[in-house]
Amino acid sequence: MAEPVFNAESVPVLALGYRFQFEPAQNCNVLLYPEGMVKLNGAAGEILQRISEKKQTVAELIAELKVAFNGADLDDDVYTFLEEAYNNDWIRPE
């Protein structure tokens, strides 16, 4: 595994040219980028929607998700997702 890119203080933002939106015809959240589209599952959608709407630290993002999901213990999942999303070029630390 490579060194993790994100820590509690980093601010994840969508990579240049990436756009998050809800697609009625697919009935799901998607990430659009040059000549392509990624359909997002529920959890990925929740995280990327927040990243696309508001600049905040990973710690703040996790706190917000915990409120939305009844205090679920999701820290590890979020970090894992952020690293994967970074490796896919979807997001980067600001």
Partner 1 sequence: MTGSDQNKAPGSIGGSIGSVRDQIRQPLWLLAELTYACPLQCPYCSNPMDFASVKKELTTEEWLDVFRQARAMGATQLGLSGGEPLTRPDLVELITEARKMGFYTNLITSGVGMDASKVAELKQAGLDHIQVSFQASSEDLNNLIAGTDAFQHKIEMAKAVKANGYPMVLCFVTHRQNIDQMEDILDLAINLDADYVELATTQYYGWAMHNRDQLLPMKEQLERAEAVAHRYQQQQKGNMKIYYVVPDYYEERPKACMNGWGNVFLTVTPDGTALPCHAARELPGMSLPNVKDMSIDAIWNGSDDFNRFRGFDWMTEPCRSCDEKEKDFGGCRCQAFMLTGDPTNADPVCSKSPHHHLIEEALERGRLEAEKPITEAKPLVFRNPKNSKQICGL
79 binds partner 1 (CB under 8 A): no
Residues constituting the chain: 94
Among 11, 13, 14, 33, binds partner 1 (CB under 8 A): 33
Closest distance of CB 38 from partner 1, Å: 5
Please state, in angstroms and rounded to a whole number, the distance separating the CA atoms of residues 55 and 12.
7
77 binds partner 1 (CB under 8 A): yes
Please state, in angstroms and rounded to a whole number, the distance separating the CA atoms of residues 35 and 53.
22
7 binds partner 1 (CB under 8 A): no
Please state, in angstroms and rounded to a whole number, the distance separating the CA atoms of residues 20 and 37.
10
Closest distance of CB 29 from partner 1, Å: 8
Closest distance of CB 48 from partner 1, Å: 8
Among 1, 2, 3, 41, binds partner 1 (CB under 8 A): 41
If 0-12 CB within 10 Å is exposed, 13-18 middle and 19+ buried, where does residue 40 land?
buried
